[in-house]
Amino acid sequence: MHLKILVTAGDGIGPEVTNEAVAVLRETAALGGHEFHFLERRIGGVAIAHDGSPLPAETLEAALASDAVLLGAVGSPEFNSLPPEKRPEVGLLQLRTALGGFANLRPAFALKELAVNSPLKPEVVEGADILFVRELLGGLYFGQPREWNKATGEAWNTMRYTREEVVRVARIAFQLAEKRRKKVTSVDKANVLEVSQLWRATVNEVAVEFPGIAVEHQYVDAMAMHIMNQPRNYDVVLTENLFGDILSDEAAVITGSLGMLPSATIGGKVNLYEPVHGSAPDIAGKGLANPLGAILTGALILRHSAGLEAEAVAIETAVRKVLEQGFRTPDLARTNSQSFTVLSTTEMGARVRETVKTLLVSA
């Protein structure tokens, strides 16, 4: 297997966590005799500082020429006062648009090894396994018109969807549900917003193509509560762009830390892989970042872009084993009720690598 992976590490903890993900992927490739080529390019704040643009042309070119893109995170406090179109985050939004992936898969799962680390009760989170399918190229993030009119003291954004945009992402959600527990929960605000009424009507149309899948609709405000109260009720959760952004960070609580969640964006020219978390400026450069979300994102590259399912499972199993042995990064070691061994970012990466090796050599 030959794979060209572009690594855009970005800002804050982005380089720290992607280093560990790449090291795990290199180990996996070496053990299986696969050729993975890694190329690094700038994005976000580091790219603004160095190239004057959050998405330099050479980064975009390299992304379009690769088999998969692994992104760390973008965003840095020094750029917080810039208007949206000049910020590091716009580099990521431009990259998403250029790559064309419209379905952002964000699995949020309760690992039994981490039940004690979630602020929710173990009996609430145990067994929870939600797959968010977040629409990634539409809605408020991209709708026109958008403006902050400083003269009149008004600002506006537009939440806009076409029927086709909803159909294509809904189909992905239903197809994924066929391989899981056969339930799709679609999230909207159809009691207030026309765009949500279109969303709901379109999801119902698509549901007809999938008679084996149960479909239900929830308003986003109620859904924010339901996923904390009864996370096990949900299988595939289909959302528009902003609702999915918010609910997936909330669902990190089920897992125990935002640093655990991986994501994959599919449906476009090149798949884009990013952990769900951001650049975490509060802990950047200190070796405190949890690399497991990025490492699990690496596993998704193997699953969705390389067809290496056994290797993807080996990485996921290694993560569980390391947690089972009591190793934690500080974000996960929130309770004193058990004795954990607290590791730095690189130490955690090394543990996962060793365990992947043991698993793949004995397989």
Q: Which of 189, 234, 273, 331 is catalytic?
A: 189
Nearest to 312 by CA among 270, 276, 363: 363
First to last CA, the chain: 18
CA angle centred on 215, ends 109 and 122, rounded to 5°: 25
Integer Cα distance of 44 and 50 in angstroms = 10
Q: Is 39 exposed, middle or buried (0-12, 13-18, 19+ CB in 10 A)?
A: middle
Alpha helices in the chain (DSSP H): 14-32, 45-51, 57-64, 88-99, 122-125, 163-178, 194-208, 220-229, 241-255, 292-305, 309-324, 345-362
Is 249 labeled as catalytic in the residue annotation?
yes
Residues 66-85 that bind ligand NAD (CB under 6 A): 73-75
The string of DSSP letters for 21-36 reads: HHHHHHHHHHHHT-EE
Instruction: Give the largest Cα separation in the chain, rounded.
Output: 68
Query: Please, which residue, 272 or 356, has the CB nearer to ligand NAD?
Result: 272
Residue 11 found at the interface with ligand IPM (CB under 6 A): no
Q: Does the annotation count 188 as an active-site position?
A: no
> Among residues 67, 182, 249, 357, which one is catalytic?
249
Binding of ligand NAD by 280 (CB under 6 A):
yes
Question: Can 269 be counted among the known catalytic residues?
Answer: no
User: Which residue's CB is nearer to ligand IPM, number 14 or number 75?
Assistant: 75
DSSP 54-85: SS-HHHHHHHHTSSEEEEEE---GGGTTS-GG
C-alpha triplet 56, 302, 331: angle, nearest 5°:
75
Q: Is 331 in the site for ligand IPM (CB under 6 A)?
A: no
189 is catalytic: yes
Minimum CB separation of residue 310 from ligand NAD in Å reads: 26
- Give CA–CA dist 15/162, Å, rounded: 37
> Taking CB under 6 A as the rule, does residue 282 contact ligand NAD?
yes
CA distance 204 to 196: 12
289 near ligand NAD (CB under 6 A): yes
Of positions 259, 262, 267, 349, contacts ligand NAD by CB under 6 A: 259
Backbone angles phi, psi at 130, to 5 degrees: -110, 140
Instruction: Using the rule CB under 6 A, give the single segment among 20-28, 88-96, 219-227, 345-353 that binds ligand IPM.
Output: 88-96
We find the least distance from the C-beta atom of residue 173 to ligand IPM, in angstroms, to be: 18
Residue with tokens 């590091």: 88
138 interacts with, out of Mn ion, ligand IPM, ligand NAD, none, CB within 5 to 8 A per kind = none
In angstroms, what is the minimal distance from the CB of 23 to ligand NAD? Answer: 16
Tell me the C-alpha distance between 363 and 357, whole Å.
Answer: 10
Task: Single out the segment in contact with ligand NAD by CB under 6 A; choices: 28-36, 114-122, 287-295, 301-309.
Answer: 287-295
Binding to Mn ion in span 216-275, by CB under 5 A: 245
Give the separation between CA 132 and CA 130, rounded to whole angstroms. Answer: 6
Q: Is 27 in the site for ligand IPM (CB under 6 A)?
A: no
- Say which of 141, 161, 234, 273 is annotated catalytic: 141
User: Is position 15 an interface residue for ligand NAD (rule: CB under 6 A)?
Assistant: no
Out of 245, 273, 321, 331, pick the active-site residue: 245
Residues in the interface with ligand NAD (CB under 6 A) total 21
The reply to whether 129 belongs to the active site is: no
Q: Is the Cβ–Cβ distance between 11 and 279 less than 8 Å?
A: yes
Q: Is 245 a binder of ligand IPM (CB under 6 A)? A: yes
**Are the CB atoms for 103 and 209 separated by under 8 Å?**
no
- Considering 86, 221, 282, 286, which one is annotated as catalytic? 221
Q: How far is the CB of 41 from Mn ion (least distance, A)?
A: 22
State the residues that interact with ligand NAD by CB under 6 A. Answer: 13, 17, 73-75, 89, 92, 258-259, 274, 277-283, 289-290, 293, 331
State the residues that interact with ligand IPM by CB under 6 A. Answer: 75, 89, 92-93, 245, 276, 278
What residues are labeled active site? 141, 189, 221, 245, 249
State the residues that interact with Mn ion by CB under 5 A. Answer: 245
